[in-house]
Chain A
Amino acid sequence: MTGTSLFHEQTARQRIAAVVDAGSFVELLPPPERLTSPYLAQLGIPVSFDDGIVIGKAKIGGKKLYIAAQVGQFVGGAVGEIHGAKLTGLFKAAARDRVPCALVIESGGVRLHEGSAGEIAITETMRAIFECRAKKVPTIAVIGSDIGAYGGIGILSTCCDFRVMTEHGRLGISGPIVIEKWMGKKAYDSSNRALVWKTSGGKTKYLLGDADALVHDDAGAVREAIGKLLAKSSPVTLKNAKARQAALAKRLKRFGKTENPDDVWKGMGVRDIAAASLASGPEFVALAKTGRK
């Protein structure tokens, strides 16, 4: 009878609470520690007790995992020194304990107000992610918000074993406004939201194979997707790297000059663009599957 809580509308804390087993979340460096950004304080910008990222231990279906969620409303979920150090520490703990780690992303990348500190922190986290992967400890990025995964965090998300997306999630490096400024409104009209989502949204990323799952905009669906991936990993091997090289080269050759995302969709086997556009995540997955047959 009532509507549902949409994953993309939830706060970081609500997302974690809704995704993990009830009562299983133990926060690390919780708000009473008051680890707030000295940079923002100096600049006269409001600070937050968690510096825009909630980290901790939890369980999904009884299985242990480390989990982090970024707070997109707080400075765009951007990574500063403390935020980044919490994230690096969490992945390093995951590698040490051989416990899977999931990151619920909502970030535009580096927090400009903290300069290069956030940039370095992102690359330190990448190194920690690959520490996990060397030990076959699964790392999972969840991208399910309009803010999405951009800048350095967009790149970081592609370092994880798996990406779970919803149709609301966006994955990229440069945002539409930056690209519009660079290329002009004719090449990319950032106010054309349909084009923006077809360029960087979950559906296109799923079709191309950059998202491993496309699920309902709902914490239960995200939970289920993470649960399925906890026992899997995507090994970093020469064989896999070569296969990926070939796949990415093929993608570029095939679609490198394709202007309209709809044509990419058609090329990937989507027949009814209008229906696919309106479809929910799982409906889209089904449509894409029948199209490929």
Chain B
Amino acid sequence: MGTAEIAVRRRNKSERLGRVGRLAQGKFVSSKNVPDLLKRIIEPGDILCLEGDNQKQADFLANQLASLDRKDLHDIHLVMSCITLPAHIQLFKKGMIRQVDFCYAGPQGTAVADLVKAKKFPVGAIHTYNELYARYYIDLTPRVALIAAAKADRKGNLFLAANTEETPAIVEPTAFSDGIVFAQVNEIVDKLPRIDIPADQVDFVVEAPYPMHLQALFTRDPAAITDVQILMAMVALRGIYEKYEVQSLNHGVGFNTAAIELLLPTYGERLGLKGKICKYWMVNPLPTMIPAIESGWIERVFSVGGEVGMERYTAARSDVFSTGRDGSFHSNRAMGQLAGHYAVDMFIGASLQIDVNLPGRKLVVQLVETFQAGRVPTFVEELDAQDPSIKKALHGVAPVMIYGDDVTHIVTEEGIANVGACRSIAERQAAIRAVAGYTPVGLKRKKRETEELRRRGIVQLPEDVGVRPSEATRSLLATQDIKGLVRWSQGLYDPPAQFVDW
């Protein structure tokens, strides 16, 4: 019975490969033949994986897929991390997708919301990255995976460069269950700097007419960091990092955390914290970490992905970053996510995607301003969407739910609420109100209640952790602009053009 089933899959794969005929020369496909080839290797009912997270996208293959008609491609069960490109939306608009399992909608959030309203977005579930990768091995194993790599050699070996990202997590489960792996590459060369994916696991390769989409997602211009964010960063440094002596951490990506990174060599140094906190990081190579790295704060960084412009810097700082034998940066999203969940003392960020049932005692710190741009309050009593899971997936910064229970601490410019130490839901709500400032939620706080929580250390105002708000100015940052980061890096950081004004 079991052997018969496996034989079916294997036979099915060879049938598909047989249909390709002259559309490929060995593993190599010319870009103009890609649409036809896709028609022949994908079957209705397939689980199809399209590589694409919030940084790296197999965009050429996605565009080719979106150019097909419903008659050629339908009843697809799409699995992918991030719905990022207009081409992804097209697949739904054309009615090709029977079900989708994904993590995050990112820049297409509004378009996805429209699809949901039009009932053209058949969601299976919204996952964390690791849930999805894990299911690729169990019940969501792709029949066909469309992936992206930097380079291929003549045998079909792949080099993934700095943005290894999720490629291994997709290729392995697919290749080892008779699925088809089809890679777009920026160029085909005689010799690769290093082999990240062996040719053995790759069925087709196309040299795409344009380089893969790569977002400079983690670059935060220090020039845009506000005094309020600096105040929050100071409060977090003293009230969380210093208090709990946080050694290893998973930093979110935002101006708040960028402010913390840029305060380490200045404010952190003054507090005598160097060597005591923040030694091990699970985070992408953030340009704003350069001053802390250069000042000797950071021992080790492991990353889920690369960052545009950081290639020469990360290569030159191989003691801190993972580099391959070729000397260039290496990342791995699945392993990074694992490390981020199991190997760190603390998660901190504005929008956190958190697996429930965390092992051991971890700090989970939500770092938010009480108001977002345009005076939208960050704190709400209840999410106002019909489908909170979709709403949460669509929002860059998810509103803080007063009833949420994953978070141990909430840090705002008003102070810290140690919600993890609260004894009841009512107490938890009071603690959140105490730091919710002048939002509608915050206005409901009662003075006596706040004072009692302060006495017990559950609520801490800036002055309670030794922070003077008048000190919170941009002059405290190790550098105030991108050019300063380049100078800190000794010219090794090459910021993307949109950040260069010199």
**A203 to B245 CA separation, bound complex (whole angstroms):** 46
What residues on A are CB-neighbors of B491 within 8 Å?
278
B118 close to A (CB within 8 Å): no
A1-B270, A167-B502 in contact; A278/B483 too (CB < 8 A)?
yes
Interface segment, B50-58, B82-90, B185-193, B472-480?
A: B472-480
B386 close to A (CB within 8 Å): no
A6 close to B (CB within 8 Å): yes
Residue from A3, A4, A197 whose CB has the most chain B CB atoms within 10 Å: A3
A3-B266, A3-B475, A278-B491 in contact; A194/B480 too (CB < 8 A)?
no
What residues on A are CB-neighbors of B500 within 8 Å?
193-194
Total of A-B residue pairs, C-beta within 8 Å: 45
Q: B266 and A194: CB pair below 8 A?
A: no
Interface 0/1 of B234-268, CB less than 8 Å to A: 00000000000000000000000000000000110
Q: B474 and A9: CB pair below 8 A?
A: yes
B380 close to A (CB within 8 Å): no
What residues on A are CB-neighbors of B498 within 8 Å?
191, 193
**CB-CB contacts below 8 Å: A1-58 with B:** 1-6, 9
What residues on B are CB-neighbors of A9 within 8 Å?
474, 480
Min Cβ gap B264→A in Å is 12
A194-B500, A194-B502 in contact; A3/B487 too (CB < 8 A)?
no
**A162 to B502 CA separation, bound complex (whole angstroms):** 24
B486 close to A (CB within 8 Å): yes
**A245 to B475 CA separation, bound complex (whole angstroms):** 44
**A4 to B478 CA separation, bound complex (whole angstroms):** 9
Min Cβ gap A35→B in Å is 28
**CB-CB contacts below 8 Å: B468-502 with A:** 473-481, 483, 486-487, 491, 497-502
Q: A3 and B501: CB pair below 8 A?
A: no
**A167 to B500 CA separation, bound complex (whole angstroms):** 13
| Cross-chain contact of A3 among B478, B486, B499 (Cβ < 8 A) | B478
A196 close to B (CB within 8 Å): yes
Min Cβ gap A171→B in Å is 15
| Cross-chain contact of B477 among A1, A3, A167, A277 (Cβ < 8 A) | A3
| Cross-chain contact of B501 among A4, A5, A6, A194 (Cβ < 8 A) | A194
A192 close to B (CB within 8 Å): yes
What residues on A are CB-neighbors of B486 within 8 Å?
278
What residues on B are CB-neighbors of A4 within 8 Å?
475
Q: B269 and A1: CB pair below 8 A?
A: yes
**A196 to B481 CA separation, bound complex (whole angstroms):** 17
Q: Which residue of A lies closest to B480 (CB)?
A: A6
**A192 to B498 CA separation, bound complex (whole angstroms):** 7
What residues on A are CB-neighbors of B480 within 8 Å?
3, 6, 9
Interface 0/1 of A250-278, CB less than 8 Å to B: 00000000000000000000000000011
What residues on A are CB-neighbors of B501 within 8 Å?
193-194, 196-197
Min Cβ gap A252→B in Å is 26
Interface 0/1 of B264-306, CB less than 8 Å to A: 0011011000000000000000000000000000000000000
How many residues belonging to A are interface residues under a CB distance threshold of 8 Å? 16
Q: Which residue of B lies closest to A168 (CB)?
A: B501
Min Cβ gap A115→B in Å is 30
Q: A2 and B476: CB pair below 8 A?
A: yes
Q: B475 and A2: CB pair below 8 A?
A: yes
Min Cβ gap B289→A in Å is 16
What residues on B are CB-neighbors of A1 within 8 Å?
266, 269-270
What residues on B are CB-neighbors of A194 within 8 Å?
497, 500-502
What residues on A are CB-neighbors of B267 within 8 Å?
2
What residues on B are CB-neighbors of A3 within 8 Å?
266, 474-480
**A1 to B502 CA separation, bound complex (whole angstroms):** 25
**A3 to B500 CA separation, bound complex (whole angstroms):** 21
Q: Which residue of A lies closest to B499 (CB)?
A: A193
What residues on A are CB-neighbors of B487 within 8 Å?
278
Min Cβ gap A52→B in Å is 21
Q: B474 and A197: CB pair below 8 A?
A: no
Min Cβ gap A244→B in Å is 29
| Cross-chain contact of B266 among A2, A167, A192, A278 (Cβ < 8 A) | A2
**A278 to B500 CA separation, bound complex (whole angstroms):** 10
**A192 to B477 CA separation, bound complex (whole angstroms):** 26
**A141 to B425 CA separation, bound complex (whole angstroms):** 61
What residues on A are CB-neighbors of B481 within 8 Å?
6
**A193 to B500 CA separation, bound complex (whole angstroms):** 6
**A2 to B472 CA separation, bound complex (whole angstroms):** 12
**CB-CB contacts below 8 Å: B450-478 with A:** 473-478
Q: Which residue of A lies closest to B478 (CB)?
A: A3
**A165 to B281 CA separation, bound complex (whole angstroms):** 41
A194-B497, A278-B491 in contact; A5/B502 too (CB < 8 A)?
no
Min Cβ gap A207→B in Å is 14
**A6 to B478 CA separation, bound complex (whole angstroms):** 12
**CB-CB contacts below 8 Å: A73-122 with B:** none
Q: Which residue of A lies closest to B270 (CB)?
A: A1
**A194 to B501 CA separation, bound complex (whole angstroms):** 4
List residues of chain A with CB under 8 Å of any chain B CB: 1-6, 9, 167, 191-194, 196-197, 277-278
- Given A3-B474, A194-B497, A278-B483, 11 other A-B residues pairs in contact with their CB atoms under 8 A: A2-B266, A2-B270, A3-B475, A5-B473, A191-B498, A193-B498, A193-B500, A193-B501, A194-B500, A277-B502, A278-B487
A-B pairs, top 6 by smallest CB distance, nearest first, are A193-B501, A5-B475, A194-B500, A277-B502, A2-B266, A197-B501
**Please, could you name 16 A-B residue pairs with CB atoms under 8 Å apart, sorted by A?**
A1-B270, A2-B270, A2-B475, A3-B266, A3-B476, A3-B479, A5-B473, A6-B474, A9-B480, A192-B497, A193-B500, A194-B497, A194-B500, A196-B501, A278-B483, A278-B487
